[in-house]
């Protein structure tokens, strides 16, 4: 099913993001995790990220196809501009379409490990909006895009950031998913600015349940998302106690999601990091609202 059709129906759309497995064994584990999630949560759709190169890219394509075919859950493939020319992107689009995948999250992508900057592939694209325009011309996919409540780290100004976000929509993106954030006012002020800039598509908040302090510190540093000082202090005091960290992470995410949904956010996209317990606990709490 096309994701924009899900958003046309009443009620929030819940989605869950996974990264591709490294081995056949972890591919089977991932299928088991997603099956468990289906049993407990009944996701509207799941998505699988796209690596910067190598075999994991093929695994993304295999995973979305398997999840949709074997588990009967709508799946969205992430696709980036990194290292691909138009012919390769056309080939990948063709493979996904053949497998019955109807949704793609179009991204520029982050540079491969060890490289500082994104480099446009010869014959490829420099920006997610260009990839969106290309896929819209060539295929019938429903296209999603990324957006950044705290602005993308490479954007020179907040206004620039919004201009390029709007261009994704002009070029065919029908829904946006935000980078992770921990303070809802960041999301609401972004949505307000986006609406003023003429962006009308659903803007789905991306939530990453905190389960490990070192990991969340690395992620927030990398993507420029702020950890509120009070939350950072609480986490710091129990960084060596995984059960307490997870409890704080779940409590914070539940509060965030409740407020977002009560104020009319169109759904929640969970960055699961391939682990289901925290996400399932959050969803269980939300369903008891």
CB of 126 to ligand FAD, least distance (A): 7
Least Å from the CB of residue 181 to ligand FAD: 10
- Interacting span for ligand FAD (CB under 6 A) from 62-70, 148-156, 191-199, 225-233: 148-156
Judged by CB under 6 A, the number of residues near ligand FAD is 24
129 binds ligand FAD (CB under 6 A): yes
Kindly state whether residue 160 participates in binding ligand FAD, applying the rule CB under 6 A.
yes
Q: Output 133 or 249, the one with its CB closest to ligand FAD.
A: 133
SS3 string, the chain, reads CCHHHHHHCCCCEEEEEECCCCCHHHHHHHHHHHHHHHHHHCCCEEEECCCCCCHHHHHHHHHHHHHHHHHCCEEEEEEECCCCCHHHHHHHHHHHHHCCCCEEEEECCCCCCCCCCCCCCCCCCCCHHHHHHHHHHHCCCEEEEEECCCCCCCCCCHHHHHHHHHHHHHCCEEEEEEEECCCHHHHHHHHHHHHHCCCCCCEEEEECCCCCHHHHHHHHHHHCCCCCHHHHHHHHHCCCCHHHHHHHHHHHHHHHHHHHHHCCCCEEEEECCCCCHHHHHHHHHHHCC
In the complex with ligand FAD, which residue's Cβ is closer, 43 or 109? 109
For ligand FAD, the closer CB: 14 or 245: 14
| b/e code 2-14 from CB counts within 10 Å (16+ = b) | bbbebbeeeebbb
Among residues 63, 107, 248, 257, which is the contact residue for ligand FAD, using CB under 6 A? Answer: 107
Q: Does 171 bind ligand FAD (CB under 6 A)?
A: no
Taking residues 58 to 97 in sequence order and writing x for each that binds ligand FAD by CB under 6 A, - otherwise, the string is --------------------x-x-----------------
Which CA distances in Å does 271 have to 16, 103, 135, 162, 216? 6, 18, 25, 23, 12
Looking at beta carbons only, is 50 or 286 nearer to ligand FAD? 50
- Smallest distance from the beta carbon of 73 to ligand FAD, in angstroms? 18
For ligand FAD, which is the closer residue by CB, 4 or 179? Answer: 179
Residue 183 and residue 150 in contact, taking contact as beta carbons nearer than 8 Å: no
146 binds ligand FAD (CB under 6 A): yes
Binders of ligand FAD among residues 24 to 63 (CB under 6 A) are 49-50, 52
Is position 110 an interface residue for ligand FAD (rule: CB under 6 A)? yes
153, 182 Cβ separation under 8 angstroms = no
The nearer residue to ligand FAD, 52 or 232, going by C-beta atoms, is 52
Instruction: Answer yes or no whether residue 206 interacts with ligand FAD by CB under 6 A.
Output: yes
* Region binding ligand FAD by CB under 6 A among candidate stretches 159-167, 229-237, 245-253, 260-268: 159-167
> Is 58 a catalytic site residue?
no
- Contacting residues toward ligand FAD, per CB under 6 A: 49-50, 52, 78, 80, 105, 107-110, 127-129, 146, 152, 154-155, 160-161, 164, 167, 177, 179, 206
Q: Which residues are catalytic?
A: 17
């Amino acid at each position: 099913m096309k994701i924009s059709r899900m958003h046309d129906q009443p009620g929030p759309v819940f989605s869950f993001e996974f990264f591709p497995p490294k081995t056949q064994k972890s591919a089977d584990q991932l299928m088991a995790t997603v099956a468990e999630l289906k049993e407990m949560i009944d996701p509207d759709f799941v998505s699988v990220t796209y690596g910067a190169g190598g075999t994991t890219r093929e695994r993304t394509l295999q995973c979305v196809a398997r999840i949709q075919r074997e588990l009967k859950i709508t799946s969205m493939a992430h696709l980036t501009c990194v290292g691909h020319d138009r012919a390769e992107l056309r080939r990948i689009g063709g493979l996904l379409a053949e497998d019955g995948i109807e949704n793609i999250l179009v991204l520029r992508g982050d540079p491969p490990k060890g490289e500082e900057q994104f480099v446009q592939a010869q014959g490829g694209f420099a920006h997610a909006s260009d990839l969106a325009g290309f896929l819209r011309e060539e295929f019938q996919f429903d296209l999603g895009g990324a957006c950044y409540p705290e602005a993308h780290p490479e954007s020179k100004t907040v206004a620039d950031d919004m201009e390029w976000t709007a261009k994704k929509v002009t070029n065919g993106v029908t829904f946006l998913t935000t980078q992770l954030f921990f303070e809802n006012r960041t999301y609401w002020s972004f949505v307000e600015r986006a609406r003023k800039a003429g962006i009308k598509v659903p803007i789905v908040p991306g939530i990453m349940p905190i389960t490990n302090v070192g990991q969340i510190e690395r992620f927030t540093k990398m993507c420029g998302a702020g950890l509120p000082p009070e939350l950072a202090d609480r986490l710091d005091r129990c960084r060596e106690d995984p059960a307490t960290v997870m409890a704080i992470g779940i409590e914070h995410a539940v509060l965030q999601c409740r407020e977002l949904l009560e104020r009319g956010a169109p759904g929640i996209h969970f960055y699961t990091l391939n682990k289901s317990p925290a996400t399932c606990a959050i969803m269980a709490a939300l369903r008891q609202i």
